[in-house]
Amino acid sequence: MSTFKKNANSAAAAVSLSRRNLLVGSTGAIASVGLMGLAPLSIAAEEPKSALPDYASWKDENAVIVHSANTLETRRDAIGSGVVTPSNHLYVRNNLPAPGNEIVADPDAWELRIEGVNTPATLTLAELKKIGIESVTAVLQCSGNGRQFFTHGPGGTQWGVGAAGCVVWTGVPLRDVVAKLGGVKDGMEYITGTGGETLPAGLDPKTIMVERSIPTRALDQAILAWELNDEALPLTHGGPLRLVIPGYYGVNNVKYVKQVAFTESQTDAKIQASGYRIRDVGVKGAPDQPSMWEMPVKSWVTTPLEKAGSGRNMIHGVAFGGNNPLDKVEVSIDGGSNWLEARLLGPDMGRFAWRPFVLAIDLAPGEYRIVSRASDSEGNAQPQERTENERGYGNASWSDHGLSLTVS
Ligand SMILES: Nc1nc2c(c(=O)[nH]1)N[C@H]1C(S)=C(S)[C@@H](COP(=O)(O)O)O[C@H]1N2
Ligand SMILES: [Mo]
């Protein structure tokens, strides 16, 4: 018992600590605390429910947590037991304000520049649609998903489990487009995608632009997508056209993509050179540190949340292998002392998709710590503990992602 009590406490401590750090980190928050004479935690608890931003007003407000106008998270209990995350439940993360709706008014007219191939070209979406088409079901997950569990208080959105979803992308495989343009030029090591945001004037573009480089080994799985879950790709998720790299963290999936270049080296845009790099706490980002590219195996339980009745219960969750196929997922109701293999639900949508899972189990009244642990086809299992790192990236710890449950 003491093991899961301790786990539950440390997760709660992590949340309140990072919340405190958030307030401490913001002068405005401190000022208002002082003026109103309230304790920081009661301010946080009384924050009004934020409204959906205009560009995402079509989201289901009961399914998402609005962290800010640029960051919406899927609620843990809105992840559901289906393979595909409904588009109106899918999380949103914009590093820059979203472009105006006019860019999706005439999607077929959108232009994509392709460089670093033997015949560089500018192709419209209408032309891309004639080159080929494929659908892939893939997990989209932010690098900072699970940041909330880090205790050193990394800045950035305090994502819990819901900066992730599993969706169907439809578009043309990038390799087909490249083949049509004479193949990749010799010596090119990276695929560099550039986002179509209009950058605010007066700032060095390199410091704000969304431009990401990923190794050319991803060419086999890259797709230029114009549909999300069988509908025209909405602006919110990168319409009219998005570079999708299944198996890679969200940031590599460049929205409103305006250029794809095969390059000798990685872009020197800040989001690549020093952003999205794994390094020790207190260390600055630099190009020689690991970049947030391939995702590792991960799972978490979704329901029941907090309370359940005694007797038969269905413990639900989701599990995925990241860049490798998923092998299996186990569930523990005693904080990781004993494990039972869960049953994978729903159709297998392939290497990059997640599988909802369920464990049917009889629970007597009491306190439980429910955790899940997935492994991939290469024998990699989710670690018990997260890898501590400055920005709170890549949390796949099974211990952090558990749920404390009271059965009565
Ligand atoms: N052009 C562009 N692409 C982008 C971003 C962005 O701000 N601009 N954010 C990235 C990040 S950090 C993530 S996690 C995903 C989020 O995708 P979503 O908003 O469709 O969920 O998009 C990525 N692609
Ligand atoms: Mo992200």
CA 186 / ligand 1 centre spacing (Å): 30
Pinpoint the residues of the chain covered by CATH 3.90.420.10: 71-273
CA 95 / ligand 2 centre spacing (Å): 8
CA 143 / ligand 2 centre spacing (Å): 5
| Tens digit of each residue's pLDDT (9 = 90 or more) over 144-171 | 999 999 999 999 999 999 999 999 999 9
Is residue 335 within 8 A of residue 294, CB to CB? The reply is: no
Q: Report the distance separating Cα 290 and Cα 277, nearest Å.
A: 6
| Confidence at 44, pLDDT banded by 50, 70, 90 | very low
Pinpoint the residues of the chain covered by CATH 2.60.40.650: 298-407
pLDDT at 9 over 50: no
Query: Ligand 1 atom 21: the closest Cα is on which residue?
Result: 92
Atom in ligand 1 nearest the alpha carbon of residue 237 = 20
How far out from the chain centre does Cα 115 lie?
28
| Tens digit of each residue's pLDDT (9 = 90 or more) over 165-187 | 999 999 999 999 999 999 999 99
| Tens digit of each residue's pLDDT (9 = 90 or more) over 84-115 | 999 999 999 999 999 999 999 999 999 999 99
Res 345: pLDDT: 96
CATH architecture of the domain covering 71-273 = Alpha-Beta Complex (3.90)
CATH number for 298-407: choose from 1.10.600.10, 3.40.50.150, 2.60.40.650, 3.20.20.10.
2.60.40.650
CA 129 / ligand 2 centre spacing (Å): 28
| Tens digit of each residue's pLDDT (9 = 90 or more) over 294-338 | 999 999 999 999 999 999 999 999 999 999 999 999 999 999 999
What angle is formed at CA 336 by the lines to CA 335 and CA 340, rounded to 5 degrees? 115
| Confidence at 49, pLDDT banded by 50, 70, 90 | low
Mean pLDDT of the chain: 90
Give the number of the ligand closest to the Cα of residue 255.
Answer: 1
| Tens digit of each residue's pLDDT (9 = 90 or more) over 182-223 | 999 999 999 999 999 999 899 999 999 999 999 999 999 999
Rounded percentage of the chain residues whose pLDDT exceeds 90? 87
Q: Is 214 helix (H, G, I), strand (E, B) or coil?
A: strand
Q: Report the distance separating Cα 90 and Cα 113, nearest Å.
A: 28
Helices (runs of H) and strands (runs of E) counted in the chain? 7, 22
Phi/psi for 176 (5° steps) reads -70, -40
Residues near ligand 1 with C-beta < 6 Å?
90-96, 140, 142, 195, 197, 210, 237-238, 250-251, 253-256
